[in-house]
Amino acid sequence: MTAAGEHDESFVFHVDDDRLIVMDPRVRLPTAIDQRDLSGTALLKRRRPRNLAGYQRVAADSIRVTREIVAQPALRKYSPVEFLPGMQVPNDDEAGLVKAAGDIGTTIFHPVGTARMGRNDDERAVVDARLRVIGIDRLRIVDASVMPSITSGNTNSPTMMIAEKASAMILEDQKRL
């Protein structure tokens, strides 16, 4: 952590049910479609982050920060109890906190940006501005893959808005036929 108490990296913390999830919108994974599989099933190739030490530091610090938050006087009346990793792993045990975070942590996987939107003359574009697959009639891609980059939160709401816009465009296009 820096002197200001913030991390050098641009990690985003998201609380989902009972989990603290560290999100890094900078991580990019290659995506490929197996051309032999005409259903278009995406084969996602996973790789480990390059700066694992940075993630480990954030994981250990997240446990320390959580402990600091629940130790505040305003929460005392709720009698918070730490179950995992438990006080047997003290704040000054960096390796213990890293291991504990790895044991209890989780990842989430929201692929976005795999179907680039662009003009017909853009060789890297997959869909046009109306989400139509370039070069294939009557096929659209309506999901998070058309987002240019991942949001710093869950992709569910933005994907629903993409679907709403796509449905309006489909209805508009039907009227033109």
* Catalytic residue set: 110
What tokens appear for 124 in the block? 């890297």
Residue environment code for 78-88, b if the CB has 16+ CB neighbours within 10 A, otherwise e: eeeeeeebeee
Q: What would the DSSP string read from start to end of 63-80?
A: HHHHHHHHTSGGGGGG--
Eight-class DSSP state of 127? B
Q: Residue 11: which of 29, 30, 24 has the closest Cα?
A: 24
CB 162 within 8 A of CB 143: yes
Task: Show Cβ contacts of residue 61 under 8 Å, excluding neighbours closer than 6 positions.
Answer: 1, 7
Q: Which amino acid is at 147?
A: M
What tokens appear for 13 in the block? 């913390």
